[in-house]
């Protein structure tokens, strides 16, 4: 047996120790997946109730799912049944209740006072789910995603590389001390350097690697692609989808009587039902209805099935009602779908009738609240700022994530009923008033915080001159105020080029 | 001169072999590959449990098998089962394939056409005594 006395061994040990010390304090890449997402706020016109359903972020599965329901002034008290149903397809065979079955159920009692009401359900897997909100007569099926912790390939490489480097380091140290062969320690040390290089490269790449297509937002979600979105990546794919056609269906419509309006959405390229709407501005669909006298409804139809939405409203007057739906499909892009037909209402019992023609700019009383409307430079082609001062104190609540909404329809001729004219109007717009927040939209508090206003302003460029109907909407004391007005927009200075 | 020493050759050889093996393992791990064999997906509705098997998950025409049970696990008796392949983001719809019954709760369509790679959706339409039920199966076709 020959004892190695060469100075190579101490040098090797020193080298390995130096390398080891260089890794001390190295931190692995931070995960860019994890149980992400945020609370889902979604407005729902369920029967006679205008609700905001808040699906709280799920922290992990299996685990609790907190659902809050915000009621507004005039919401009838009653009882809602909530059900959580997994709906995602999967290639995995797991010992879980099958997709389509109710995993958890809860009840929620709505009081007569407007405000928050909550219930806690349970979810048992990541992937696409439906929250069913059932009032005993109608059921809204709200799609949402339960996220899964996701590790990107570069992160995995970083973890694997540094783990291997650590193991090889120990091996190299052991070999340097106890092995009789010099090459053993050298090979292990070389392997450690290579593994550390791999780990460092993974750590560096993890911050710049683009995210995979997002299930729910870009891809039709399944349990599998929510758990491993990187396996569902195809380069250079366009995610946006074709436009939508809407068909209205309803029973007998008499003024003064509630009517359930069905919206049947079909794909503009395949004709198939459209069942991939995203929640945008806190609703799946923003439905705007304008009556013959210019009365406005801004409602949020419930999803009752694939491509099938339903909303209840009580028309107050006879005649044609114009209908538009603002929505966003998976893959991105908000679109305004205008019904080519609207719906006609027959005369109702006495007591129903037309709304008065609204005033222009200036002061007026809306449901007991003093509202002052002003505008700068009402000329076509130039940005006009419309400002509404609602009440005298900063007590407005964010509604649909914004402190104010402005609906614009026009130009409208003087002679025709507003509903008919609105159906043919070239401009139909929905502008927002956004509160100033410290770090962007994520900071905007929810509906319970009454600290905005009293002034809300909107900047909109009227594309052409003429008479426009506008409606300012804001929430105060859990009541949505709608302020109608008539604006005359002058021709563009210098004329149209 | 060290090149001719047998001891050195013996020392280097295991390292070279180890490196080659490592490189081979890395290549095998990271080599992109399409799903070769059949893919079976599980889905369902409030009334049916559905298992869809795409036997050839690649571009071209291939068979598809559908197995349907009720919520109690009994084979479902259906009047008609159709498989409708669609690429939602492309706005493409492929011809619908009617699946013929091959046994209790089991149906098979011989030729479902997938004309390009990408994100496909298979809508399985179940026509039963109480009406139509639809289950959607998204599937990525990479090959």
pLDDT of residue A180: 80
A411 by DSSP, 3-state: which? coil
| Chain A: closest CA distance from residue B18 (Å) | 10
**B25 and B46 share one domain:** no
Longest dimension (CA), chain B: 89
The residues, any chain, with a CB within 8 Å of residue A219's CB and separated by 6 or more, are A213, A225, A229, A232, A239, A330, B119, B138
CA of residue A343 relative to chain centroid, distance: 29
Contacts (Cβ under 8 Å, ≥6 apart) of B128: B47, B76, B77, B78, B79
Same domain, B91 and B131: yes
8 Å CB contact between B52 and B69: no
Coil, helix or strand for B21? helix
Nearest to B125 by CA among B91, B97, B88, B93: B97
CA distance A160 to B120: 33
Closest of A393, A391, A357, A400 to residue A487, by C-alpha: A357
Task: Kindly report the CATH number assigned to the domain that includes residue B97.
Answer: 2.60.40.10
Is the distance from CB of A79 to CB of A110 less than 8 angstroms? yes
CB atoms within 10 A of CB A146: 26
d(CA B44, CA A85): 11
Count of residues making up chain A: 497
Q: Which residues contact A448 (CB under 8 A, 6 or more apart)?
A: A70, A115, A116, A397
Check residue A33 and give its pLDDT. Answer: 32
Residues B124 and B59 in one domain: yes
Predicted confidence at residue A30, as pLDDT, reads: 32
Maximal CA-CA distance, chain A: 115
Q: Are residues B4 and B72 in the same domain?
A: no
How high is the pLDDT of residue A150?
Answer: 86
B142 alpha-carbon distance from chain centroid? 10
Give tens-digit pLDDT for A316-359. 999 999 999 999 999 878 999 999 999 999 987 776 678 888 88
C-alpha dist (Å) from residue A459 to A372, A376, A382? 17, 9, 10
Note whether A98 contacts B44, CB cutoff 8 Å: yes
Structure tokens at A94: 């797991």
Same domain? B80 vs B98: yes
- pLDDT at residue B89 tops 80: yes
Contact assignment for A90 to B117 by CB distance below 8 Å: no
Q: What number is the ipTM of this complex?
A: 0.79
What domain count does chain B have?
2
Q: Are A106 and A119 in contact (CB under 8 A)?
A: yes
Within 10 Å of residue B128's Cβ, how many Cβ atoms? 17
Asked if A84 and A65 count as a contact pair (C-beta separation under 8 A), the reply is yes
Both B121 and B64 in one domain: the answer is yes
Phi then psi for A100, rounded to 5 degrees?
95, -10
B57 and B125 part of one domain:
yes
Q: Over the stretch B7-33, which tens digit does the pLDDT of each residue have?
A: 556 667 877 888 899 888 888 876 666
Which residue is associated with the tokens 């964010």?
A: A398
Q: Which of A90, A98, A241 sits opposite B41 (nearest CB)?
A: A90
Task: Residue A333: name the closest of B20, B47, B89, B143 by CA.
Answer: B89
Whether A234 contacts chain B with CB within 8 A: yes
d(CA B49, CA B70): 6
- B20 and B81 belong to one structural domain: no
Domain co-membership, B54 together with B25: no
CA gap B64, B54 in Å, rounded = 5
Residue A352: the pLDDT is 67
pLDDT tens readout for residues A39-86: 899 999 999 999 999 999 998 889 999 999 999 888 899 999 999 999
Cα three-residue angle A360-A362-A363, rounded to 5 degrees:
120
**pLDDT number for residue A32:** 31
Contact residues, chain B, for A234 at CB < 8 Å: 117-119, 140, 142
A161–chain B Cβ distance below 8 A for any pair: no
CA distances, A191 to each of A184, A203, B23 (Å): 11, 18, 12
Q: Residue A232 is nearest to which of B89, B137, B140, comparing CB atoms?
A: B140
Alpha-carbon distances of A28 from A23, A155, B22, rounded to whole Å: 11, 8, 23
B84 & B118 share domain: yes
Lowest mean pLDDT among A228-232, B110-114, B119-123: A228-232
CA distance B87 to A396: 44
pLDDT for position A135: 94
Residue appearing with tokens 């696409």 = A128
Which one of B41, B92, B140 has the shortest CB-CB distance to A234? B140
The span from the CA of A320 to the CA of A418, in Å, is 9
Range of the domain at B26: 1-31
pLDDT of residue A235: 67
Dihedral sign (CA A299, A403, A408, A363)? positive
Whether A450 contacts A477, CB under 8 Å: yes
pLDDT band at B107 (very low <50, low <70, confident <90, very high): very high
Phi then psi for residue A168, to 5 deg, are: -65, -35
CB burial of residue A489 (10 Å; 0-12, 13-18, 19+): buried
Q: Do A99 and B137 touch (CB under 8 A)?
A: no
Question: What confidence tier does B34 reach under pLDDT thresholds 50, 70, 90?
Answer: low
Q: Are A466 and A411 in contact (CB under 8 A)?
A: yes
Tell me the chain A residues in contact with residue B47 when contact means C-beta distances shorter than 8 Å: 100
Q: Do A88 and B43 touch (CB under 8 A)?
A: yes
Q: Are residues B27 and B59 in the same domain?
A: no
In this predicted structure, what is the pLDDT of residue A19? 52
Q: What is the pTM of this model?
A: 0.84
Do B38 and B57 touch, CB atoms closer than 8 A?
yes
Work out the minimum CA distance from A220 to partner chain B, whole angstroms.
Answer: 7
A19 exposure class (CB count in 10 Å sphere: 0-12, 13-18, 19+): middle
CA–CA dist A132, A95 (Å, integer): 23
3-state per-residue secondary structure call for A24-41: CCCCCCCCCCCCCCCCEE
> Would you say B61 and B109 are in contact if contact means Cβ atoms under 8 Å apart?
no
Query: Mean pLDDT, 10 residues at a time, over chain A (497 residues)?
Result: 50 53 38 52 93 91 92 89 93 85 93 88 94 95 92 90 94 88 86 93 88 87 89 76 94 91 95 94 94 93 96 93 95 90 86 81 88 90 91 85 90 86 93 72 67 86 94 90 92 69
Give the pLDDT of residue B11.
Answer: 66
What backbone torsions phi and psi does residue A171 show, to the nearest 5 degrees?
-65, -40
Q: How many whole angstroms separate alpha carbon B113 and alpha carbon B136?
A: 17
The total of other beta-carbon atoms located within 10 Å of residue A273's CB is 16
In the DSSP assignment, the letter for residue A230 is G
* Statement to judge: residues B77 and B106 lie in one domain: yes
Chain A: give the shortest CA distance to residue B48, in Å: 8
Is A238–B88 a contact, with Cβ atoms under 8 angstroms apart?
A: no
Residue A390 φ/ψ, nearest 5 degrees:
-110, 110
Can you list the alpha helix ranges (DSSP code H) found in chain B? 6-30
Is the separation of the CB atoms in A362 and A325 below 8 Å?
Answer: no
A117 CA: distance to closest CA in chain B (Å): 27
């Amino acid at each position: 047996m020959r004892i190695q006395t060469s100075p190579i061994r101490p040098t090797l040990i020193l080298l390995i120790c130096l390398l080891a010390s260089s890794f001390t304090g190295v931190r692995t890449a931070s995960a860019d997946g994890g149980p992400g997402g945020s609370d889902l706020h979604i407005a729902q016109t369920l029967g006679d109730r205008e609700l905001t359903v808040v699906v709280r972020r799920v922290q992990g599965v299996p685990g609790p799912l907190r659902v809050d329901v915000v009621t507004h002034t005039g919401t009838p008290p009653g009882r809602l049944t909530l059900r959580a149903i997994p709906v995602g397809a999967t290639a995995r065979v797991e010992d879980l209740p099958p997709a389509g079955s109710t995993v958890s159920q809860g009840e929620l009692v709505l009081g007569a006072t407007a405000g928050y009401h909550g219930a806690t359900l349970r979810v048992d897997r990541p992937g696409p789910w439906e929250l069913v909100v059932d009032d005993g007569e109608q059921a809204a099926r709200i799609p949402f995603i339960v996220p899964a912790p996701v590790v990107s390939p570069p992160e995995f490489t970083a973890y694997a590389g540094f783990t291997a480097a650590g193991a090889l380091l120990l091996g190299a140290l052991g070999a340097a001390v106890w092995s009789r062969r010099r090459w053993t320690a050298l090979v292990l040390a070389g392997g450690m350097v290579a593994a550390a290089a791999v780990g460092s490269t993974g750590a560096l790449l993890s911050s710049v690697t683009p995210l995979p297509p997002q299930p729910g937002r870009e891809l039709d979600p399944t349990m599998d692609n929510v758990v491993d979105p990187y396996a569902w990546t195809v380069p250079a794919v366009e995610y946006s989808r074709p436009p939508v056609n809407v068909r209205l269906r309803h029973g007998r419509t008499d003024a003064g009587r509630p009517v359930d309006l069905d919206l049947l959405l079909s794909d503009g390229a395949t004709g198939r039902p459209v069942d991939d709407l995203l929640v945008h501005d806190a609703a799946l669909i923003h439905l705007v209805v304008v009556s013959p006298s210019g009365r406005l409804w801004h409602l949020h139809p419930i999803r009752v099935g694939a491509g099938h939405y339903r909303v209840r409203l009580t028309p107050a007057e006879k005649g044609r009602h114009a209908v538009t739906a603002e929505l966003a499909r998976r893959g991105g892009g908000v679109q305004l779908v205008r019904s080519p037909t609207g719906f006609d209402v027959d005369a109702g019992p006495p007591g129903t009738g037309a709304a008065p023609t609204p005033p222009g700019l200036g002061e007026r009383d809306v449901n007991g609240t003093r509202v002052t409307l002003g505008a700068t430079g009402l000329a076509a082609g130039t940005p006009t700022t419309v400002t509404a001062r609602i009440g005298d104190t900063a007590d407005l609540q964010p509604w649909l994530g914004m402190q104010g909404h402005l609906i614009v329809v026009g130009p409208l001729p003087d002679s025709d009923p507003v509903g008919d004219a609105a159906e043919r109007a070239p401009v139909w717009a929905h502008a927002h008033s956004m509160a100033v927040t410290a770090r962007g939209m994520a900071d905007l508090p929810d509906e319970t915080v009454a600290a905005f206003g009293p002034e809300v302003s909107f900047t909109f460029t009227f594309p052409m001159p003429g008479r426009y109907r506008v409606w300012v909407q804001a929430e105060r004391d859990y009541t949505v105020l709608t302020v109608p007005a008539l604006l005359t927009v002058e021709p563009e200075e210098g004329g149209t080029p | 001169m060290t090149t001719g020493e047998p001891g050195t050759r013996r020392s280097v050889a295991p390292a070279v072999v180890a490196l080659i093996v490592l490189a081979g393992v890395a290549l095998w791990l990271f080599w992109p590959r399409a799903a070769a064999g059949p893919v079976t997906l599980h889905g369902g509705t409030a009334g049916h449990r559905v298992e869809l098997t795409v036997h050839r998950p690649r571009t071209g025409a291939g068979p598809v098998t559908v197995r349907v049970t009720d919520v109690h696990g009994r084979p479902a008796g259906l009047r008609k089962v159709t498989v409708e392949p669609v690429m939602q983001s492309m706005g493409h719809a492929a011809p619908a394939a009617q699946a013929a019954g091959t046994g209790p709760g089991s149906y098979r369509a011989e030729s479902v056409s997938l004309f390009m790679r990408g994100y496909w959706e298979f809508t399985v339409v179940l026509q039963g005594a109480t009406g139509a039920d639809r289950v959607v199966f998204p599937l990525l076709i990479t090959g």
